[in-house]
């Protein structure tokens, strides 16, 4: 005797696969959202450097031992930093390089900043025309030192309002440097 098996109607099979399809679509949407959040919405890279700065895009970064080595070479002496990073930004008309060096503590950072100011004030072959600006950062005023550098570039340095153990140096090539440094004080 031949046994005849009834097959399920197609409608029933579709309804069983519907939950699987919904789950699959939700997983794909979750992956797209996560990727978008990590790659588009995320405003900083791992070290805390913003991917944009005053409308300029982050072009390159140097971190860790290599950044510490480059910052120390620029000073020509051991400056006792525990970490550093260097970020290069640009748009069609402006460029900025940001060096951030972190000292062991706030007092060491203040001593280093004062040493930098003193060395430039005493005469420095690379930097001249030392002047002090006060830039408002919310309820706090930040003392920013400005110097003229090689090739007509303008350089600014200050203690970070975010981390008082960090010293920030910003080299700007722009016709109008004030908006760039005001944003730097808010950002770094």
What one-character-per-residue DSSP string does 4-70 give? PPPPPPHHHHHHHHHHHHHHHHHHHHHHHHHHHIIIII--B-TTS-BSEETTEEEEEEEEHHHHHHH
Structure confidence by residue, pLDDT tens digits, 83-112: 999 999 999 999 999 999 999 999 999 999
The candidate with the shortest Cα–Cα distance to 76, out of 132, 131, 124, is 124
What pLDDT score does 42 carry? 42
CB-based contact 94:172 (threshold 8 Å): yes
Q: How distant, in Å, are the alpha carbons of 113, 147, 162, 176 from that of 128?
A: 16, 6, 28, 19
Q: Which two tokens stand for residue 145?
A: 């030192």
CB-based contact 71:100 (threshold 8 Å): no
What is the pLDDT of the chain when averaged over all its residues?
82
Given a cut of 70, whether residue 119 has pLDDT beyond it is yes
CATH class of 52-187: alpha beta
Percent of all residues in the chain with a pLDDT value above 70, rounded to a whole number:
72
CB-based contact 131:121 (threshold 8 Å): no
Cα gap 135→138, rounded to integer Å: 10
């Amino acid at each position: 005797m031949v046994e005849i098996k009834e097959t399920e109607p197609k409608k029933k099979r579709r309804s069983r696969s519907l939950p699987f399809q919904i789950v699959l679509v939700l997983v794909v949407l979750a992956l797209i959202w996560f990727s978008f959040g990590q790659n588009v919405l995320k405003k900083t890279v791992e070290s805390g450097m913003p991917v944009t700065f005053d409308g300029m895009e982050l072009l390159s970064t140097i971190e860790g031992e290599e950044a510490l080595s480059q910052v120390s070479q620029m000073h020509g002496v051991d400056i006792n930093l525990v970490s550093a990073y260097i970020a290069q930004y640009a748009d069609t008309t402006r460029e900025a390089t940001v060096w951030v060096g972190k000292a062991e503590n706030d007092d060491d950072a203040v001593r280093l900043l004062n040493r930098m100011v003193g060395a430039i004030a005493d005469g420095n072959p690379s930097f001249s025309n030392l002047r002090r600006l006060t830039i408002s950062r919310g309820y706090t005023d930040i003392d920013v030192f400005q110097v003229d550098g090689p090739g007509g570039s303008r350089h600014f340095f200050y203690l970070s309002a975010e981390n008082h153990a960090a010293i920030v140096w910003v080299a700007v090539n722009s016709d109008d440097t004030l908006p760039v440094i005001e944003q730097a004080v808010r950002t770094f």
